[in-house]
A and B are shown apart, each in its own frame.
Chain A
Amino acid sequence: MSSLDQFRQETREWLSKNCPESQRQPVKKNEIIWGGRRRKFPSVDAQLWFERMRDKGWIAPDWPKEYGGGNLSVDECKILEQEMRSLGCRPPLYDQGLWMFGPALLKYGSEDQKKEHLTKITQGEIRWCQGYSEPGAGSDLAGLKTKAEDCGDHFLVNGSKIWTTYADQADWIFCLVRTNTEVAKQQGISFLLIDMESEGVTTSPIELISGESEFCQTFFDNVKVPKENLVYEVDKGWEVAKEVLKHERKLISKLDHMTEKEDRSVMELAKEVIGLDSNGKLRNSSLRDQLTRHLMAEQADQLSGLRIFQQMRAGQPDPKLPLTMKYANTSEQQRKDELFLAILGNQGLTWQDEAFPKSYRTLVQNWAYNKSLTIAGGTSEIQLNIIAKRALGLPE
């Protein structure tokens, strides 16, 4: 048996022994395990699962051991991911520090910063949020204006950030700030870490069309930030930001982690709601065709993901393919959401009225929420610009 096969077997055994049964069901929003100072576990099982994975180093399986990671290779991580998926294991921790900021800090942070922040992420002690967009800087992110003034031993920060996901519950925020107005806009940006408990930081939630309010606006009013909280170099924050964005796009295309997963497949739902005729065909031939188009696209999406992984493993990465993934996956998710609504008909027009089945209402609310997928993390239009320029080399 190869060492990878052995790793797979051991992983499977360990997971089936250590992952409580209740942590193998699709996760509902109120069952998600978030870290941070205000950490509260939704259940005893959830706490058990989190602590076992934490002690195993598998909260961040690919990070170095000295920061609480698992030191696993690319192949081992993939195996762990596959085995967790096949058992249905929930992620043991949800955190933007873990998914986005951490990988960038690994690349750009100082040793002190890594030791301090990465360790607290893997231990679930600090919960992070992202401060990138501003009311006046959305797709034109580099046009941001939140100012950080050099005051000797600290920066003085003034301005505001928008779409700061769960900022009202986060402990720290990783921020892009303007440190130089004399140079081209990308070159005057720095990457700063700010404790949300600092004086002058306030945050308020924004209500969305889905009735949820996980996005916030965060204000900075003469906030003093110690110099040691600067990541990489002054005015070179754009480089770090791009690294974070890479992980954000991967994440958004990988899973819409914020929404509750559908309880059943779109195919099962169609069979249930629309019904089959005597030949075993869906009663509505047009929906049958739309459903097939979606399932085929989903199959191709999954194969694209697998292809990227296999290319990486074979040392022959194709730079174009990953650039297409965010646009492709989020567009397909929205087509799927519209299909759900089409299938549900007049049963799919509310998430507020509890007279309707919960599973239907979840789908409807996801439909509304998922309108943000093609906006957050670089709009579809920005994605197409990136593909045109970077993958296809079309001129400015």
Chain B
Amino acid sequence: MNMVLNEEQRLLKDTIQDFLSTNAPVTAFRKLRDTQDNQGYSTELWRHLCELGIAAIVMPEEHGGLGFGYLGLGAVLEECGKNLTASPLLASVVLGASALELAGNETQQSLLDEVASGSLTLALAIDEHSHFDPLQTRTSLTENDSGFTLNGHKVFVLDGHTADRLIVVTRSRGEAGSRDGLSLVMLDSQTPGVKIDRHQLMDGRNVASIQFEQVSLPADALLGELHNGFAVIHTLIDRAAICVAAEMLGSAQEVFDRTLEYLKEREQFGVKIGSFQALQHRCAQMLCQLEHCRSAVVGALAALDKGSRGVSVQASTAKALANDCLQHISNEAVQMHGGMGVTDELDIGLFLKRSRVCNQIFGDSIYHRDRFATLMGY
């Protein structure tokens, strides 16, 4: 299992780093937020990123994939996290394209080319409650003569208000809580009976809540096997948890670096405040936590590339550690910046808010510790 970037992956990371720091620094994100941009991300930026190939990094090669692997994608996500770059990379590629790749038939998979080029965007509607827990899915899918009828309500759908197509996790049979009876469907977001409401969260990003009312779907809307969607969802959780963790790692590194810089500049009592042992030890502990988190995330990305059997356990470790790490470091960053830390003028608060949103994407730490324990059999 290789955890070190090879030369091509390093080159990719450097390219994206240069591109984002020039074209999409935190200030660009701040502007999106301040103008309450309806889209929530810049279409032009996404087009550019797709031209650079980032949407195709982990796609199968027959659909224009680049073969950089998840280690390469992780490096890109880390850069996005550093710059708080808003883009449909997570929603459309990591979640949407993954679902197509894992469950789609040939016709459905042919859409991957369009996703890779950026001309089509996807969103995955999975959450229904206050907390991530796909087994509790109640949104119902019933079979009829012409296909299916979809009824229910989804929340916290990332980029759900702008996506061209929605992939929806539904219950086609059984009780909430059961693994059996989960099914995925894909539909055009303009389908009659679909009502999409846009919400702006504290991190400036957009999510949608989506109502499905007697939505008629053709039989070929089904993605994968009827009732047997759990295995696909399980793999989606692994990929999503690891990729979100990679983005969070980038944010944690950035907010930590900015805090260190501040401690080396700011003077009180006639000395740099970074000379105080009370702050030094906390910074040293943050580095330990950050390196720990980095090992877990990079190890999990490498496990995805290798297709390791233990990848689910590693995915939950990576997400839980990234959640805790970014939460802690962003809190400390605010505290160590003193009064400036609680102003909107400084970017520190943006990282703080992003951290709490990321916590909830595909499972908070409590969810992932429970998942880890269950997978380990205790």
A interface residues (Cβ-Cβ under 8 A, vs B): 267, 270-271, 276, 280-282, 288-289, 291-293, 295-297, 299-301, 303-304, 306-307, 310-311, 314, 316, 320-321, 324, 327-328, 381, 383-385, 387-389, 391-396
Contact = CB atoms under 8 A, between A and B. Distances in A.
Nearest to B314: A299
B373 A282 contact: yes
B374 to A, nearest CB: 7
Interface string B265-288: 000000110110101110111011
A308 B67 CA distance: 25
Contact of B280 (A280, A292, A306, A385): A385
B292 to A, nearest CB: 4
B373 A384 contact: no
B263 interface: yes
Interface string B363-378: 0001001101110111
A216 B358 CA distance: 52
Contacts of A320: 287, 291
A299 B280 contact: no
A265 to B, nearest CB: 10
B75 interface: no
B321 A300 contact: yes
A161 B271 CA distance: 38
Interface in B277-328: 277, 279-281, 283-285, 287-288, 291-296, 298-299, 313-314, 316-317, 320-321
B296 A394 contact: no
Contacts of A324: 287-288, 291-292
A387 B3 CA distance: 23
B369 A394 contact: no
Given A270-B378, A299-B317, A388-B280, A292 B287 contact: no
B372 A394 contact: no
Nearest to B256: A392
A388 B3 contact: no
Given A296-B317, A303-B298, A328-B288, A271 B4 contact: no
A288 B264 contact: no
Contacts of B281: 381, 384-385, 388
Given A295-B372, A303-B299, A276 B283 contact: no
A267 B263 contact: no
B237 interface: no
A8 to B, nearest CB: 16
Contact of A267 (B285, B292, B376): B376
A293 B369 contact: yes
B2 interface: yes
Most buried by A among B260, B277, B295, B321: B295
The residue in A276, A300, A314, A396 that gathers the most chain B C-beta atoms within 10 A of its C-beta is A300
B181 to A, nearest CB: 19
A320 B294 CA distance: 12
Nearest to A391: B287
Interface in B158-207: none
A310 B6 CA distance: 11
19 contacts: A280-B374, A280-B378, A281-B374, A296-B320, A296-B369, A300-B293, A301-B295, A303-B296, A304-B291, A306-B299, A307-B4, A310-B3, A324-B291, A388-B283, A391-B284, A393-B260, A394-B260, A394-B280, A395-B274
A306 B288 contact: no
Which residue of B277, B288, B317 has the most chain A CB atoms within 10 A of its CB atom? Answer: B288
B160 to A, nearest CB: 31
A296 B372 contact: yes
Nearest to B372: A292
B5 to A, nearest CB: 9
A280 B376 CA distance: 10
Contact of B288 (A276, A310, A327): A327
A280 B377 contact: yes
Contact of A300 (B283, B296, B377): B296
Given A270-B378, A327-B288, A391-B287, A384 B280 contact: yes
Nearest 8 A/B pairs, CB to CB? A388-B280, A387-B284, A303-B299, A303-B295, A384-B284, A304-B295, A292-B369, A300-B296
Contact of B264 (A271, A306, A395): A395
A276 B378 contact: yes
A307 to B, nearest CB: 5
B39 to A, nearest CB: 37
Nearest to A318: B291
Nearest to A328: B288
Contacts of B287: 320, 324, 387, 391-392
A388 B284 CA distance: 5
A280 B370 CA distance: 12
Given A296-B372, A304-B291, A387-B288, A392 B283 contact: yes
Contacts of B321: 296, 300
B296 A316 contact: no
B4 A311 contact: yes
A314 to B, nearest CB: 5
A393 B288 contact: no
B275 A267 contact: no
Contacts of B3: 303, 306-307, 310
Contacts of B275: 394-396
A300 B289 CA distance: 10
Contact of A310 (B2, B274, B283, B369): B2
Contacts of B295: 300-301, 303-304, 306-307
A276 B313 CA distance: 20
A296 B284 contact: no
A313 B316 CA distance: 28
Nearest to A380: B281
Contacts of A387: 284, 287-288
